[in-house]
Amino acid sequence: MPSDIAPPQALSRRFSVAPMMDWTDRHCRYFLRLLSRHTLLYTEMITTGALLHGDRQRFLGYDETEHPIALQLGGSTPGDLAACAKLAEQAGYDEVNLNVGCPSDRVQNNMIGACLMGHPGLVADCVKAMVDAVAIPITVKHRIGINGRDSYEQLCDFVGQVRDAGCRSFTVHARIAILEGLSPKENRDVPPLRYDVVARLKDDFPDLEIVLNGGIKTLEDCKTHLQTFDGVMLGREAYHNPYLLAQVDPLLFGSTEPVPSRQGVLLQMRPYIAAHIASGGNMHHVTRHMLGLGLGFPGARKFRQLLSVDIHKAADPLALLDQAGAFLQGH
């Protein structure tokens, strides 16, 4: 779709929004890009099987305005990951990231995600296959350990082997993953955050790019962490309170461009939503990602109600969008 948003010229991992299943789809990413030009955006995790044998256009499709954008892959077969990395490069993605952090039972059963931390040699083989296949960066997102393999020495062994395979950038969720007995949601909260472990990793691997993930909630926190780490990645906070991205470019990238207003962002989304509806889509598929615009001001609750409850009985969805937008006036 046409847009007047020009993509940044260089990929930076100084600030990124995490890959989140069911959340960071193409509609979400289009919306977040209106708030920040420089934030690196990640897709939801896509398994190699889905990409190789499913609807590639659906899995790989994105709007050009989403750059810089990275594709996150889930898999553990080097040849399949290399083939998928090639597809990502051909589709124009700026980076391919390997998921070594997801703790769900479903992905464990397919040797995907955090369980791979117990197999550093296999992860290294996967990374080498992808690095040899494409020219775009191959990165890894992982935990600081898993139950039964959670010592600092084992973390260094993992990072060292994957580094030697050609990976130069590691995004580290500063918690271990408990692979039995905790749900994926509990794994995002129950294991304690250990920023000190990630800081030690940066000290011991100074030549690697180390991006911190886990529990970061404010841009002030980001500025503090950026004194130690090469980048920060926000997940749930960026999704539930997306308007904080409006300050990312001036505070973290030194941009002098005007900061978009909440209402201005909604108005920019309107043509995108109208086109989605015209193509047979449901407005809720897009606006569900925008509910976080309605936080912290009078009328915010009504804004969220219109786009989360009333939307399902609206005869004229765009009129409802305009009605909701009126509550953002001046914000």
Catalytic annotation, residues: 102
Distance between CA atoms of 247 and 269, rounded to whole angstroms? 19
Residue 235: count of CB within 10 angstroms of its CB: 21
In whole angstroms, what separates CA 41 from the centre of its chain?
5
